[in-house]
Structure 1
Amino acid sequence: MSTELTRNFSIIAHIDHGKTTLSDRLMEVTSTVTMRETSAQQLDSMDLEREKGITIKSHPVAMQYKAKDGKTYKLNLLDTPGHVDFSYEVSRALAACEGAILMVDAAQGVEAQTVANLHLAEQQNLKIIPVLNKIDLPAADVPKCKRQLEDILCIPEDDCIPASAKAGIGIEEILEAIIARVPAPVENPDKILRATVFDSLYNTYRGVVSYVRIFSGTIKRGQRVKLFATSKTYEIKEVGIFTPKMTACDILSAGDVGYVIANMKSASEVKIGDTMTDSTHPCSEPLPGYKEIQPMVFSGIYPVDSSDYEQLKTAMGKLQINDPAFTFSQESSTALGFGFRCGFLGLLHMEIIQERLRREFDMDVISTYPSVIYHVDLTDGTEVIVDNPTLFPEAQVIQEIREPIVNVYIMVPGEYIGDMMQLVLEKRGEVTNTETIDDMRVMLSCVLPLSEILVDFNDKLKSQTKGYGSMDYEHAGYRAAKMVKMDMLIAGDPVEAFSTIVHRDKAEGYGRRLAERLKEVIPSHLFVVAIQAAVGGKIVARESISAMRKNVTAKCYGGDISRKRKLLEKQKEGKKKMKMFGKVNIPQDAFIKVLKSSD
């Protein structure tokens, strides 16, 4: 089909605004799937995606649609993940399109992620088609949502298409708008093969399957291609399109979206955003936008039963094949045994990997407190990158420590603005701008350290706003901070599993909370056990576990008090001697309880 009759578009929306439901309706109306094959959330293949109502792995689909002008068009929909953790994949998918449907829930209005996703689409110069979804709900307020689109996003209200993906209202109008408003792909006149890889997955039997958008030239079976990032060449074994199942075809030409199977044996051979070109007549430079994906959040993952170590290693290897953004390397801990240091794109990514390990591979795992990457300048002029508290340099050789910061956009009802400002200040952040969206809601723009929003920020946001608040964040570089390494000493010995990097002002409070939790889970010994939080050589918090005692005065029925005192002193001397030689045994379940309660 010619490029004039091809349209490439994506759907962008806040979580749970109906993106996947609209995809289902578009496939039904264009007869891409039959009524017998149809099911809810067809492009979400994982159980986890269906349960959480989010798209984790993007999935394209090619549809044929006969428009009102009598012509049959090929519509390529590139479904995208909806969460900020996967923003690079979203940007690469959007770069493969010419237009985007911006979905807004007519009952909830514009949310934080709606704004962030629109900015991503505008950076790629895409034509935006605004759609107000769920207009059939009793709580829907279409005029108010149109005003929000005009005021916040500068989108004329006349451009909005009212629809209900669930009820099938406005689907034809959306398809006609795609044909009328989204420009057709433009091919480079030199006709040299240029294709961008916007996603990939690993198939056990066929190797790596690359999802590609062809910008110019053609690609077919038997052709030899080259990838710019690795400079390796491959022979194409199969090309095809998604309907939504993988369907082989003879050739993919300019404007097409499909898949390519070459003789690639591991997922690391293809990079998302890379350019594929002909090996004999390559293009002079790659398509813009490619960058290496770098993990932002790190955590240790250990098997609860140490005999499951090899099984966990195999499971992680399989996960990495289908998710190259997930990284892991071997590490060991005196407390938890052998495990892995894992890198993730963000919190949701970390949660999904852990959940997949439990469900798909039946692994019982424990994760350590998540940490971020710190850049540490040393006094000798060198820079060290630290992602693990055990690698933190000594205080006397540190010149400056820089921590990652994020720009956070929080959308809340107006009455909670004071609570939100207080929460941001608690988390060492600052509010840079407040913007009134309508008579109900306010958007706060804040700058916060990434480490402060890692664990409970979103939970507190939801609980303080009774579920009405939403947030989105983007990485904004590094800035200097007074970070210190805090060790937990149990009976004078440091336990590395509980070491963490914290801000100096928060070390005391965090140390006290952790010491209290440890006091609850470590059993009593025959001598007093001191639990101390230490920063450098300074103790900032302490708790003591009382000794188990025998009642040595029970046999004294009376007589002089000095007799009882003598027995108690003798016991005291024994305890002192025992403390010198005794060793504290921390049971495995104590580590698990403390680390799980600190998540």
Structure 2
Amino acid sequence: MTTPLKNIRNFSIVAHIDHGKSTLADRLIQLTGGLEIREMKAQVLDSMDIERERGITIKAQTVRLKYHAQDGEDYILNLIDTPGHVDFAYEVSRSMAAVEGSLLVVDASQGVEAQTLANVYHALDANHEIVPVLNKVDLPAADIPRVKQQIEDVIGLDASDALEISAKSGMGIDTVLEAIVTRLPAPKGDISAPLKALLVDSWYDTYLGVVVLIRVIDGTVKKGQKIRMMNAKATYELDRVGVFTPKLVAVDQLGPGELGFFTASIKEVADTNVGDTITDDKKPTATALPDFRPAQPVVFCGLFPVDASDFEELRAAMGKLRLNDASFSYEMETSAALGFGFRCGFLGLLHLEIIQERLSREFNLDLIATAPSVVYEIVQTDGQTIALHNPADLPDVMKIEEIREPWIKATILTPDEYLGSILKLCQDRRGVQKNLSYVGSRALVEYELPLNEVVFDFYDRLKSISKGYASFDYALIEHRPGDLVKLSVLVNAEPVDALSMLVHRTVAETRGRLMCEKLKELIPPHLFVIPIQAAIGGKIIARETVRAMRKDVTAKCYGGDATRKRKLLEKQKKGKAKMRQYGNVEIPQEAFIKALKMGDE
């Protein structure tokens, strides 16, 4: 028996990082009896170890709750807990398309932050009804009237009837449940129409194969039914249909307005494109749902196994990870210094870090990552435009008309006292100021910045300058021509492609010098002198030398003629010259990682 539409509410929780989304989700699950007390743990929906350790939500999670409201009716509440971090904005926009309303959680002591804004815009784009919720009102630093005013000024939402709660202590959670039922709209749909469902997410489960999370719009989904994915043009027979309570619970069928999952012995997650329309194979729906734009990778970097024999394992691990993360893309590449590996695309640096950590944890792989770089557009003299993912592949300078780099529009919200140093940071990174306004005592700065200046360590610098109070959100705008040069690093006159990068001409020399100094400390002495050079084209702009280890060849000469010693020293000298010509320089693994982490020290 499917639940009547008027008794279903689908909603998501949006907020900035650390404003209490996952804790609020815990309380709602607890109060509606989704899990027993003994099964509860903090942040139930953050299922990955890495999410729990870092205290962030990475994957959007869903749960179905039963609630007996004050009007005496029983309601089904479908909740999607979304990530708050800018790198996972893609997950947020996907989740928004599957629900009708949002709870906007704002920390009553911190107020509105940059990503609160970004995520609210996702919700408004999806035409959501939004209920503002002030969390942490029991903190001594909570300033409720100020934050309500901020919500009205910055977001333009009426906050006069915002709910005041404390998710940690459980205060006011019952008012949230009532507000979901009374203030959020019920879904629309037609049970007798042909099946039309939205594919919200998919991930790989070792026992069940690919699990597909769907939102049914029209019609019903039953076990044994034959369905078709309209974009992927693949057909499957359903093995099981169910819902998350957050445990997996099998049900007979899912009707309009419901969120649930199915499995269908799908081997390839590539067949389950997020945003695809699922319909009945025999009686398909006439029109597909509007498609999601696929996630655009912003940052690229090469991942190589430390031990070349692990390459096949890395390939398998990448495939499995791609099953769980649709926004992660990769292709094979080879490097003279590092052997076989993959060029991977990520949504941002946090995404890169998390994928790397998951590869080393879940698959026990030791990896080397090359310098993160962005996608440049190269306009060649023959009029062709190519996308450059790896600085080592830059065509000959004579063939290049211009190099265009991606620019972003950054929104930074900061307390007034840090404004000066933040403006300086943006200026140093070749930023162009677009707007500066005040929201109460906080400044809202809008800057246009080149993405490759942001990729390295902009976020860390911003946080340390502002003692963690500034928040940052960005969106890509366009590619613009820039005066960029390729900085190569030569060790013993051999170019190390893993360390080459595209930089702006004005900072090339400083970057090159830093890189050489860093490598000098990191490369251990060999039996011969090793020159480390930074070059732009054929011009050397910086050099450091690693001194040779000395072996005392005259130790066995005691007394006797001095010519004997001289002969041995001459022989050693010749040997060293020969070694330098043919000798291989062993660059240790740590040296790569440390050299690439070079910031503005």
Once residues 119 and 309 of structure 2 are traced to their aligned partners in structure 1, the CA distance between those partners, rounded to angstroms, is 44
Amino acid across the alignment from 1:291: R
Corresponding residue for residue 558 of structure 1? none
SS class of match (2:455): coil
**Bigger mean CA offset, 537-546 vs 133-142:** 537-546
**Structure 1 pair 37–548 and aligned structure 2 pair: CA distance change class (3 A):** closer
> Is contact 1:403–1:481 with CA below 8 Å preserved after alignment?
yes
> Is contact 1:517–1:594 with CA below 8 Å preserved after alignment?
no
Once residues 595 and 28 of structure 1 are traced to their aligned partners in structure 2, the CA distance between those partners, rounded to angstroms, is 44
Once residues 50 and 108 of structure 1 are traced to their aligned partners in structure 2, the CA distance between those partners, rounded to angstroms, is 22
Corresponding residue for residue 455 of structure 2? 454
Shift of 1:89: 2.0
After superposition, the C-alpha distances for 1:268-321 in whole angstroms (9 at most, x for unaligned) are 110111111122222232212422233221111222233333333332232222
Shift of 1:103: 0.3
1:578 aligns with 2:577: yes
Shift of 1:338: 2.8
Amino acid across the alignment from 1:578: A
Alignment of 1:217-236 (within 5 A): 217-236=219-238
1:22 to 12, 21, 24: 24
**Structure 1 pair 158–397 and aligned structure 2 pair: CA distance change class (3 A):** same
> Is contact 1:526–1:575 with CA below 8 Å preserved after alignment?
no
Once residues 265 and 187 of structure 2 are traced to their aligned partners in structure 1, the CA distance between those partners, rounded to angstroms, is 29
**Structure 1 pair 477–275 and aligned structure 2 pair: CA distance change class (3 A):** farther
Once residues 440 and 177 of structure 2 are traced to their aligned partners in structure 1, the CA distance between those partners, rounded to angstroms, is 31
Shift of 1:234: 1.6
- For the aligned residue pairs, the C-alpha RMSD in angstroms reads 2.5
The answer for unaligned runs of 5 or more in structure 1 is: 555-562
Shift of 1:82: 2.0
Once residues 571 and 145 of structure 1 are traced to their aligned partners in structure 2, the CA distance between those partners, rounded to angstroms, is 79
After superposition, the C-alpha distances for 1:14-59 in whole angstroms (9 at most, x for unaligned) are 1111101101111111112222222111111111111111111111
Corresponding residue for residue 497 of structure 1? 498
Once residues 205 and 530 of structure 2 are traced to their aligned partners in structure 1, the CA distance between those partners, rounded to angstroms, is 54
Size of the aligned set, in residue pairs, is 586
> Is contact 2:196–2:279 with CA below 8 Å preserved after alignment?
yes
Corresponding residue for residue 275 of structure 1? 277
1:339 aligns with 2:341: yes
Corresponding residue for residue 46 of structure 2? 44
**Structure 1 pair 188–400 and aligned structure 2 pair: CA distance change class (3 A):** farther
Once residues 189 and 38 of structure 1 are traced to their aligned partners in structure 2, the CA distance between those partners, rounded to angstroms, is 35
Amino acid across the alignment from 2:591: K
Once residues 43 and 574 of structure 1 are traced to their aligned partners in structure 2, the CA distance between those partners, rounded to angstroms, is 66
> Is contact 1:525–1:584 with CA below 8 Å preserved after alignment?
no
Once residues 165 and 580 of structure 1 are traced to their aligned partners in structure 2, the CA distance between those partners, rounded to angstroms, is 67
2:177 to 175, 178, 193: 175
Shift of 1:146: 0.9
Once residues 359 and 580 of structure 1 are traced to their aligned partners in structure 2, the CA distance between those partners, rounded to angstroms, is 40
**Structure 1 pair 9–372 and aligned structure 2 pair: CA distance change class (3 A):** same
**Bigger mean CA offset, 126-135 vs 164-173:** 164-173
Alignment of 1:320-399 (within 5 A): 320-399=322-401
> Is contact 1:194–1:283 with CA below 8 Å preserved after alignment?
yes
SS class of match (2:593): helix
SS class of match (2:160): helix
**Structure 1 pair 68–545 and aligned structure 2 pair: CA distance change class (3 A):** same
Give TM-score, length-normalised by structure 2: 0.92
SS class of match (1:445): strand
**Structure 1 pair 205–594 and aligned structure 2 pair: CA distance change class (3 A):** closer
Alignment of 1:126-145 (within 5 A): 126-145=128-147
**Structure 1 pair 587–196 and aligned structure 2 pair: CA distance change class (3 A):** same
Shift of 1:190: 7.2
Alignment of 1:141-540 (within 5 A): 141-187=143-189, 191-439=193-441, 441-524=442-525, 528-540=529-541
Corresponding residue for residue 80 of structure 2? 78
Identity within the alignment, %? 49
> Is contact 2:59–2:91 with CA below 8 Å preserved after alignment?
no
Corresponding residue for residue 593 of structure 1? 591
Once residues 181 and 554 of structure 2 are traced to their aligned partners in structure 1, the CA distance between those partners, rounded to angstroms, is 93
After superposition, the C-alpha distances for 1:363-386 in whole angstroms (9 at most, x for unaligned) are 222211111111212111222111
**Structure 1 pair 512–158 and aligned structure 2 pair: CA distance change class (3 A):** same
1:107 aligns with 2:105: no
SS class of match (1:357): helix
**Bigger mean CA offset, 430-439 vs 21-30:** 430-439
